[in-house]
Amino acid sequence: MAELIVALDLATARAALELVDRLGDVVRWYKVGPVLHVADGPAVVRGLTERGKAVFLDLKWHDIPNTVAGAGEAAADAGVAMATVHLTGGPRMLESAAGARRGRIALTGVGVLTSLDAAEFGAVLGRPVADLAQEQQRLVRLGMATGLDGYVTAAAEARAVRSLAGAGVAIVVPGIRRATDAVQDQVRTATPREAAAAGADYLVVGRPVTRAADPAAEARALVEDLRR
Ligand code: C5P
């Protein structure tokens, strides 16, 4: 069954770990992003691993091969289970990152950021872009050639990525909402059940849980949606 990952988009380790303790056994996976990581990263990662939680470090690395390989090793040493790299970092960066991890950390690739439209991504590439889904698939192929462990993708593209990348890779889908949750600034949301049916292994949800009056009840309801 697909696993829920709660995005700890909070400002301090203390606030994040208080939430983790409120969620208790309901949630095992947590995503740590750049804001919390810059503020308090090592304390959060330590606090999570000490509690037996799995850490998804979402820093979307994009740097020279040696630096990304070093970041992957440092994250694995800290006990991180899964991290993100930009597929646009190129084959040598991806190969270097994949080679350095030696199975200790799963590396998932981010293709086209969902905040970009075709015109903006075309400006990055220096050529017209007709179809962002095709660009995403082209980048996933690059990841497949370099042995990445998985991909981050919107629910709408999860099925295409799964059929391209096969059964063995991890598919991580953000923008998860129950039908009754506020969509906030997300554009293409999916319920846990819809995302799992499209091939997702990991379902990333932030504000519906972190801002709930009863976060554990909300997380339980999201897991329950999968079983319906
Ligand atoms: O609060 P919400 O559920 O919208 O948070 C979703 C999390 O997933 C945030 O941490 C956000 O940065 C991340 N994310 C996303 N869409 C992507 C990639 C990552 O919402 N395409």
Both tokens of 62, joined, read: 């994009």
CA 57 to ligand 1 centroid distance, Å? 13
Q: Is 199 in the pocket of ligand 1 (CB under 6 A)?
A: no
Which runs of E-coded beta strand occur in the chain?
Answer: 3-7, 29-32, 54-61, 82-86, 106-110, 150-152, 170-173, 202-205
Question: Which residue has the least CA distance to atom 18 on ligand 1?
Answer: 174
Q: At what angle do helices 132-145 and 118-125 cross, to 10 degrees?
A: 50
pLDDT for position 105: 95
Contacts of 44 (CB under 8 A, 6+ apart): 8, 13, 16, 17, 32, 36, 37
pLDDT for position 148: 93
SS3 136: helix
pLDDT for position 182: 86
pLDDT for position 186: 78
Both tokens of 22, joined, read: 């409120």
pLDDT for position 175: 93
Q: What is the spatial distance between Cα 101 and Cα 41, in angstroms, rounded to a whole number?
A: 20
Mutation choice for ligand 1 from 4, 5, 9, 222, CB with most ligand atoms inside 8 A: 9
CA 33 to ligand 1 centroid distance, Å? 9
pLDDT for position 114: 85
pLDDT for position 8: 98
Q: Domain 3-227 belongs to what topology?
A: TIM Barrel (3.20.20)
Query: Which single residue is written with the structure tokens 């969902």?
Result: 114
Tell me if 47 sits within 8 A of 17, measured CB to CB.
yes
Q: Which residues of the chain have pLDDT under 70?
A: none
pLDDT for position 184: 81
Segments making up each domain of the chain, as ranges: 3-227
